[in-house]
Chain A
Amino acid sequence: MLTYVIRRLIGAVAMLVVVSMVTFAIFFVVPQLAGATPEAFASRYVGRAATPETVQLIAERLGFNDPVVVQYARFAKGIVVGAEYDYGTGVEHCPVPCLGYSFLNQQPVWPDLLDRMPVTFSLALGAAIIWLIAGVSTGVVSALRRGSFFDRLAMGTALAGVSLPIFFTGMVTLVVFSYGLNLTAPGGSWTDFGENPGEWAYNLILPWITLAFLFAATYARLTRAGMLETMGEDYIRTARAKGLREREVVVKHGLRAALTPILTLFGLDFGLLIGGAVLTESTYSLPGLGKYAIDAIANNDLPKVMGVTLLTACFVVLASLIVDLLYAVVDPRVRLS
């Protein structure tokens, strides 16, 4: 068990190294192949009125003229031990984990990410609770009453949920519940949980529901399919033959077995989501990682984009590790080795 965890952790680190290489290549090598000069990168750090000489000097100081491998090594070293940046106005120290400086405001990326994380995490957590409860229970009832009116309605709604993009459902909910009925926050507001939990929830309730609707749809369909399969298993017949109440048969024997694939999907979805719920955060103007990434992309602020990408990759790798470990807890037949 312990060796398995250690091996998986090493694998996870290796995975992250690869991800960092790929992201670095995408954001710093591909533009050069497309004709971007070192000066083009450097010019993003200097003001508009800079002379070509200044730009060249900055490019030299920040190392944009070095070979790609050296640049990547410097970037990777920054993450592990921190880095020093020299803009000509004095050397700035960028502490661990240094994901570089923003092109725009010359601020290190990592503290920004730390600031944004609670927002995205709050959003993802609340939505996850809603979609798990709503999706799984809808799926169970649909499977038990297969072909009924409820089943058709639920699966129709689920189809809509899967197909409708957040920027549509989000707008509709904003128009109806916020501007129309004045029930919820109009979006764009964020209160820290520690400051005022009530307001925190009030600001988030609409994004939670919208985001949860999208995921609940998938989970309802998955649960329904899983339940239809497990409820036909021999051990369900055994459970009934023992004289168990139908509720116990369904929940303790049927749902328990159907939950395993749902757990897997949930781990990956949640891991991806806490790395930034891009559409939801932009629709509701929430200052989370997704909004941060979108703004950075709009401004061509590559270090920020890379930072978010790497962080998201971290979360996904971590989530899949946790899922694999949990698997052995959920299904006793699985042996970790």
Chain B
Amino acid sequence: MSFLELKDLRVHFPTDDGLVRSVDGLSFSLERGKTLGIVGESGSGKSVTSLGILGLHKGGPAKISGEIWLDGEELVSATPEHVRQLRGKKMAMIFQDPLSAMHPFYTVGAQIIEAYRVHHDVSKSVARKHAINMLGRVGIPEPSRRVDDYPHHFSGGMRQRAMIAMALSCDPELLIADEPTTALDVTVQAQILDLMRDLQSEFDSALIIITHDLGVVAELADDILVMYGGKCIEYGNAEDIFYRPEHPYTWGLLGSMPRLDREASERLLPIKGSPPSLINVPSGCSFHPRCPYAERTEGKSVSQVPELTETDGGHLVRCHLPRAERRSLWENDVKPMMETT
């Protein structure tokens, strides 16, 4: 069994308007030292998945089913207290906006010290040395002075570094980064991604990067999982997804990515329409209302939910189009358009 394994995870929220199927049957696995990128639009269920792994839906309104195996332990059925003890120690999370994700009333050091002392029975001064050490390791200059600063004294990039230091303070084996660079300047983004790559190899942890930015996963991910409407619609290694994508939605994501090697006058290729409602999920393939190739499936995409099927070793696609047709569409239709338009 892999270090982390999700089997048919479902996270549903009952609301007055109906059941919101935020995550609807998600399965994947991840080994130590590897990086998985989860990509999708807003509302595709990326963040809900990560909060689910950390057990942060426990005690809330969410209905969770399926299995989450972390290092041989099942977490969905585990007690909230047990998952709390794992949280921060065995698995940790880096959040999107480090300004709102850090408490404004406590110093950066105090927050790291707190994270460390929850799981380690050490004195404050020992924890403080550890916090200074961690701040130094994530590249904060003069950490012994900055440790007593408040989050609002830090710049955006520094705050994200501090956030990473806090997440890594207990040496977690699984690190989940939810849009870690979205709130940052482009120049700082690259630094943070470099930092995360270095730290991951140093700590040999499993890393999940959640993003809507394919550029970020291109930098870091070994494997990529594309989510749409709470489901995985394509999964493969980075090469598969970037060079041999087979799902029309993935094509859309790639086409809507700005690239420096194209002329500025060229238009992006946006995906038409907007993300599906998670309450009234479209029938059949949830992508069919936006799919330019939907009519080629002879109505199947409207009536049947496609299965996630293996197209090549480890490359999974959830699409009704026959494999040969998908490949020829990509090679002859989509790829040339992306390269030339």
Contacts and interface: CB of A to CB of B under 8 A. Distances in A.
Interface of A: 233-235, 237-245, 253, 256-257, 330-333
Given A241-B88, A242-B88, A332-B150, A257 B118 contact: no
18 contacts: A233-B100, A237-B95, A238-B95, A242-B92, A243-B85, A243-B88, A243-B89, A243-B118, A245-B118, A253-B103, A256-B105, A257-B104, A257-B105, A332-B104, A332-B152, A333-B104, A333-B150, A333-B152
Nearest to A235: B103
B90 to A, nearest CB: 9
Shortest 10 CB-CB contacts between residues of A and residues of B: A243-B88, A243-B87, A234-B100, A242-B88, A242-B115, A235-B103, A234-B101, A241-B93, A238-B101, A332-B150
A239 B87 contact: no
A226 to B, nearest CB: 14
Contact of B102 (A238, A243, A244): A238
A242 B95 contact: no
A333 B97 CA distance: 18
Contacts of B114: 242, 244
A241 B84 CA distance: 8
B86 interface: yes
A237 B107 CA distance: 17
Query: Interface extent on B, as a size class?
Result: 20 to 34
Contacts of B54: 241
A241 B87 contact: yes
Q: Max chain B CB contacts within 10 Å: which of A242, A253, A333?
A: A242
A243 B104 CA distance: 19
A143 B92 CA distance: 27
A240 B58 CA distance: 11
Interface of B: 51, 54, 56, 84-89, 92-93, 95, 97, 100-105, 107, 114-115, 118-119, 150, 152, 166
Contacts of B84: 243, 245
A244 B92 CA distance: 12
Given A235-B103, A238-B102, A253-B103, A243 B86 contact: yes
Given A234-B100, A235-B103, A333-B104, A241 B89 contact: no
Nearest to A240: B56
Contacts of B102: 235, 238
A84 to B, nearest CB: 55
Given A244-B118, A245-B84, A238 B103 contact: yes
A182 B88 CA distance: 56
Contact of B101 (A235, A245, A256, A331): A235
A257 B87 contact: no
Interface centre among B54, B85, B86, B103, by most chain A C-beta atoms within 10 angstroms, is: B103
Contacts of B105: 256-257, 330-332
Contacts of B56: 237, 240-241
Contacts of B93: 241
A118 B101 CA distance: 47
B103 A257 contact: yes
A234 B151 CA distance: 14
Nearest to B93: A241
A235 B101 CA distance: 4
Contacts of A233: 100
B283 to A, nearest CB: 34
B58 to A, nearest CB: 10
A235 B95 CA distance: 10
Nearest to A254: B103
Nearest to B169: A242
Given A234-B95, A242-B114, A331 B104 contact: yes
B118 A242 contact: yes
B139 to A, nearest CB: 21
B152 to A, nearest CB: 5
Contacts of B115: 242-243
Contacts of B107: 332
Contacts of A234: 95, 97, 100-101
B166 A242 contact: yes
A239 B167 CA distance: 11
Residue picked from A243, A244, A257, A330, most chain B C-beta under 10 Å: A243
Contacts of A243: 84-89, 115, 118-119
Contacts of B51: 237
A331 B106 CA distance: 9
Contacts of A257: 103-105
A244 to B, nearest CB: 6
A241 B107 CA distance: 18
A19 to B, nearest CB: 34
Contact of B100 (A235, A244, A253): A235
Nearest to B99: A234
Interface centre among B51, B85, B86, B105 (most CB of A within 10 A): B105
A152 to B, nearest CB: 19
B65 to A, nearest CB: 22
Contact of A235 (B89, B92, B104, B119): B104
A238 B99 CA distance: 11
Contact of A242 (B87, B100, B104): B87
A42 B316 CA distance: 100
A248 to B, nearest CB: 8
Nearest to B176: A241
A238 B160 CA distance: 13
Nearest to A256: B105
Contacts of A240: 56, 87
B177 to A, nearest CB: 12
A235 B106 CA distance: 11
